[in-house]
Structure 1
Amino acid sequence: MELRQLHYFVKVAQKEHVTQAAEELHVAQSAVSRQIHQLEQELGVNLFVQKGRNVQLTPAGHLFKKRIEAILLDLERAVTEVHEFLDPERGEIRLGFPHSLGISLVPQVVAAFRKKYPNVKFRFRQGMYPLLIRELVQGDIDLAFISPFPNDHDDVSGQVILTEQLYAILPPNHRLANETEIELQQLAEETFVVFSEGYSLRPIVMNACKEAGFVPKIGFEGEETDTIRGLVAAGMGVSILPEMALHYTGPLQAVKVTLSYPQVSRTIGLIHRTHEKLPHVSNLFHTFLLQYFDEPVNTD
């Protein structure tokens, strides 16, 4: 059984398509098919069944995939640990974060860190709250910025590093665009542009409207802060966004207005796996971040 066969097997299982797997692996389809066939012969069991143009794992294939993914992950960690042993300030940091933090916060802290440790590499993973938690627990990433901070999760620990204010954003020609601050109830009759289900900023907006005494009329939903902000700037409605999402200098500008009631904020946390020591280079970054954000309150 060869390591190459195991990598090919996992990629085909992920893609459920031999041709697509071969394209991502940058090898010929025939080479992938041959290695999978040899692996099945050695194991004495079919790992895949054909379904149209796709392939699906058999029950034995599912069992094998679960074990092999864990083995490959351990192997990857072992290689990383050896590299870090030889040079602690080289290596790779696997960092997850929601899209809204990729606009300014993540680039800023990574740039600041690499001034001290220029040889460190980063592998980024952007995604929604459930995905980041799952990939952290599974070991696909080692650290994650997340919002809101998960207070009750046995496998995840960390710190609140930042509490960020959210603002009402309005079209430039809106009747309240020249106000320095407003109450959210003043927008009760407006059409709202909000995040799609599953995004952590959506319940923040919905709960704020509930506290203000109304249920928002949702006209548009989006999956990126740029999309939300752009739709508002184009006059499609109003919204509530964190300050970090408003760093934009393009021609189509929404207006930021402070909310006097209710005041809306979100917590941003830095999390890691509870029962596992961070790799050395990730621990360097973790320590750097705590200092960068001025020693936040520990919530472990």
Structure 2
Amino acid sequence: MELLQLRYFHEVAQTQHMTNSAKRLGVAQPALTQAIRRLEGELDAKLFERVGRNIRLTPCGEALEDKVAPLLAAFDEIPSAIAQAKGQERNTVRIDVEAATTMTVDAIAAFRATVPQAAFVINQANSEARWDVRVRTEARGDAAMPDARTSEVFRERICLAVPKAQANGEPIRLADFAGAPFVCLAGTRGFRSVCDELCLKAGFAPNVVFESDSPDVVRKFIALGLGVGFWPERSWGALEGSEVVLTPIADAGFERDIVVETAKHPLGQKAAEFHAFLLEFIRRRMGGVDAQAAHRA
């Protein structure tokens, strides 16, 4: 059976008139009659029977029409379904957020405020998920991009959030906090991995007493004075509470790279617009800290 044969059959089943169907289909009546006969031969069943000068469906014809009608309706919906999917694809931004979550979410909210038709699919460090834009973090200089087409890197200092009473306005040495309680992100998060790597290089092991996979929880614990914690200088925003001070670390190399990547596949319209918006948003948020940002193509 061919789709054209089924369309011819469906038309005749609707009109139950061969001449009228031929006119509606724009084909010669003999060609339509021959197509119906070929279909009957393939199915080894009589589909129409003559009643006076008219025709009607046989029981076999009725059974075929019951199956063919919804099938053809589904086929006819394909162009609009594809058009709708193309529209959604143009407006959808798939973003993988592995780091700088607070800043990235703020950027999404700001973008949606000006482009309300944009739709976001947000994934967090799921290697199987499709993404258009990815935000991740690496130790300084380690920003490889095996799965990306382009990458832009923003360098950021890592500071220590300490109680106001312990801050004297000078950079601190990690050795002075060897016994202090630390509040950290869980080990699965990129920022924690960077901090662990930097501490290892500095010969320092933090005394971790609280950890969470949520930066917001870490933020709250530090603000409540339950410990000190590593805190990116700009991307997480201001600390809550006047009793906590963000203090530079005197130990060398306490910096991380925020890496914004685009996938290797072509970006949809809104994904490309958001990527450009995100880069500019980060530049403003970093407040000039990214003056030495490197662009890799």
> How far apart, in 1, do the equivalents of 2:204 and 2:191 lie?
18
- TM-score calculated relative to the size of structure 1: 0.58
Specify whether residues 179 and 151 from structure 1 end up closer, same or farther in structure 2 by C-alpha distance, changes over 3 A only: closer
Q: 1:113 Cα deviation (Å)?
A: 7.2
Q: What do you get for the CA RMSD once the two structures are aligned?
A: 3.3
Distance 1:204 1:76 in 2: 45
Shift of 1:167: 0.7
Identify the residue that residue 81 of structure 1 maps to in structure 2.
86
2:179 corresponding residue in structure 1: 189
Secondary structure of the residue aligned to 2:225 is coil
Unaligned runs of 5+ in 2: 1-79, 284-290
Q: Distance in 2 between matches of 1:196 and 1:292?
A: 27
Check conservation: 2:154, 2:258, Cα contact below 8 A: yes
| Separation in 2, partners of 1:162, 1:82 | 33
Q: Does 1:203 align with 2:193?
A: yes
**What letter is aligned with 2:119?**
F
Quick check: 1:247 aligned with 2:238? yes
In structure 2, distance between residues paired with 1:233 and 1:96: 28
CA distance in 2, matches of 1:291, 1:107: 13
Aligned counterparts, 1:116-265, within 5 A: 118-127=115-124, 130-131=125-126, 133-135=127-129, 139=130, 141-148=131-138, 151-173=143-165, 176-243=166-233, 244-249=235-240, 251=241, 253-265=243-255
Moved over 6 A (4+): 75-78
Q: Mark the CA change 1:102 to 1:201 in structure 2 (over 3 Å): closer, same or farther.
A: closer
Distance in 1 between residues matched to 2:263 and 2:146, nearest whole Å? 9
**Equivalence for 1:101:** 100
Number of residue pairs the alignment of both structures matches: 207
* Within-5 A mapping of 1:259-298: 259-274=249-264, 276-290=265-279, 297-298=294-295
- Deviation of 1:279 after TM superposition, in Å, equals 1.3
Verify the 8 A CA contact 1:158 1:269 in the aligned structure 2: no
Residues 1:179 and 1:110: Cα distance change in structure 2 (over 3 Å) = same
User: What amino acid is aligned across from residue 102 of structure 2 in structure 1?
Assistant: I
Q: Could you tell me whether the CA contact under 8 Å between 1:190 and 1:237 is conserved in 2?
A: yes
TM-score normalised by length of structure 2: 0.58
- One-letter code of the match for 1:101? A
1:255 CA drift (Å): 1.9
Change (3 A) 1:103 1:152: closer
Q: Deviations over 1:33-54 (max 9, x none)?
A: xxxxxxxxxxxxxxxxxxxxxx
Offset at 1:187? 1.4
